[in-house]
Structure 1
Amino acid sequence: MIAFLLAFLAAGAPATSHVLRVVDGDTFVVSAGPRPVTIRVLGIDCPESHRNAKCERDGARGGATCAEQVPRGQAATARARELLIGRDVVLEPARPCESLKPDVYRRTLAYVRLPDGADFGLELVREGLCADYGWKYPHPRMVEYRAAAAEARR
């Protein structure tokens, strides 16, 4: 499954995939070969949409409490569903010469290009639904994402 998608991108072909379902604001599932592949959007972090251990850890570290995170996470998930479900998107690696790579949870990391050419992650950051994740995982688009996040906070 992941190997199919990774091999496809490594071959230099654009990885256009059909979105089957949205897990949350920054994670969704695409059809790619014989089995679905889970995609984790590169460069963003959306609030949790359910009360869980990560939500509790974030709150304990001085971030938003679960009570604050969950409604924002649900809004990000709803927006992701609007933009992604049933659409064909282009999955882009961190850098043009690289292939897509999995994260520690075996989700494929990718920037996501919407059918209209817009950067999905950047759109969610601009709308104030998700944060730039460059503070924890630096990425090539973090300057643009940080500027969008600052603008969204105004």
Structure 2
Amino acid sequence: MALAATDRWTATEPAAPLDPRAMTVEYVYDGDTVRVRDGDGALTVRVLGIDTPETVKTGYTVGCWGPESSAYARATLDGAAVQVSIDPRADAVDDYGRTLAHLTLPDGSDYGTAAVRAGMAKAYAYGRSTGRPTEDIARAESEARAAGAGLWGPPCEGRTDSVQLEGN
């Protein structure tokens, strides 16, 4: 099966949930974006339901807790065999051509929920509102906030926005 963004597997049309696809993470860009590969090719995946502080956005400062979030993603995902799940209620791809999907870790847990629970990411609605964070992600964020975990504690206190550099 080809992996083009217009492929049926990427859920460009509303449909019944599609079976997860077994893929291997071959590169971690940052805490919420990875490149995955299987025998049919590679996809760049933007993880649905979460947002992590910026570390690689050209013309912007690094967001508070960005390096820690990226390190967490590398430690958790780099080289991992994951299940990539498209949510047919959400947009298939974003404005940058990345496939929007959930990642299930080898132990069966959801990467987005785990990252939010650890304070490495915030719950985030990406694209269509039906692709909003799951209840598990929202609950994990409440727990992380209450515990002051990761980006919810010092020095960030939940403020992780990048600032555009002058001249950009």
Counterpart mapping for 1:36-51 below 5 A: 36-50=42-56
Q: Is the 8 A contact 1:4 1:33 kept in 2?
A: no
Q: CA deviation at 1:50?
A: 4.0
The reply to whether residue 19 of structure 1 matches residue 10 of structure 2 is no
Which range is displaced more, 143-152 or 106-115? 143-152
TM-score (structure 1 length as normaliser):
0.75
The match for 2:116 is: 125
Q: Is the 8 A contact 1:16 1:91 kept in 2?
A: yes
Q: Over the residues paired in the alignment, what is the CA RMSD in angstroms?
A: 2.9
| Structure 1: segments with no counterpart, 5+ residues | 56-65
**Percent of aligned positions that are identical:** 34
The match for 2:79 is: 86
Q: Assess, with a 3 A threshold, how the Cα gap between structure 1 residues 33 and 105 changes in structure 2: closer, same or farther.
A: farther
SS where residue 4 of structure 2 aligns? helix
The match for 2:34 is: 28
Instruction: Figure out how many residues of one structure are paired with residues of the other and give that number.
Output: 139
Give the aligned residue type for 1:142. Answer: T
Q: CA deviation at 1:91?
A: 0.7
The match for 2:157 is: none
Question: Per-residue CA shift, 1:73-103, capped at 9, x if unaligned?
Answer: 11111111111111110011224xx698221
Question: Per-residue CA shift, 1:16-39, capped at 9, x if unaligned?
Answer: 101101000000001134542111
The match for 2:70 is: 77
**Structure 1 runs of 4+ with >6 Å offset:** none
The match for 1:147 is: 139
Counterpart mapping for 1:84-123 below 5 A: 84-95=77-88, 101-123=92-114
Q: CA deviation at 1:140?
A: 5.0
What is the rounded CA distance, in whole Å, between the counterparts of 1:111 and 1:36 in structure 2?
16
The match for 1:60 is: none
Q: Is the 8 A contact 1:43 1:137 kept in 2?
A: no
